[in-house]
Amino acid sequence: MSVVFWEGNDAEQDGWALSTEFNQNYDLKDGGSPVPNDEARSCTIVDAPAGTIINVYGSPSASTSDDWAQIQVVSDVTSPVVVSTFENTTNYGGGAVKVTYHKNNGLDGKVSNIAIIAPATAS
């Protein structure tokens, strides 16, 4: 599974790539995180199997009391799919990717935690 997070909406500006086949959780306030805190506004799913879930949170502890979005890979992604914003509940890539946004006070540019759940354990 490979995803690139972008500083700008619509997969623009600086980008940071993540690749994993396992469950991963990134507290972006941690200085060693692969994506800077409070920067990501969009992402490109480069490849991912159906069932992959990517959650982005405004809270560094992944609390759902702040803004968060769930990105579900509904069918295998073999060509890049751009998620242009985390602040919209919609489908991308012809329905291959479904985003559900849980609104509080805005998420784009305020992402502080990313959780990737591999298909074998996604629920």
Question: pLDDT for 33-73, tens place per residue?
Answer: 999 999 999 999 999 999 999 999 999 999 999 999 999 99
Q: Assign 123 a pLDDT band (cuts: 50, 70, 90).
A: low
Domains in the chain with CATH codes: 2-117 (2.60.20.10)
Q: What is the pLDDT of residue 120?
A: 75
Per the CB < 8 A criterion, the answer to whether 39 and 15 are in contact is no
Q: What's the pTM value of the predicted model, to 2 decimals?
A: 0.94
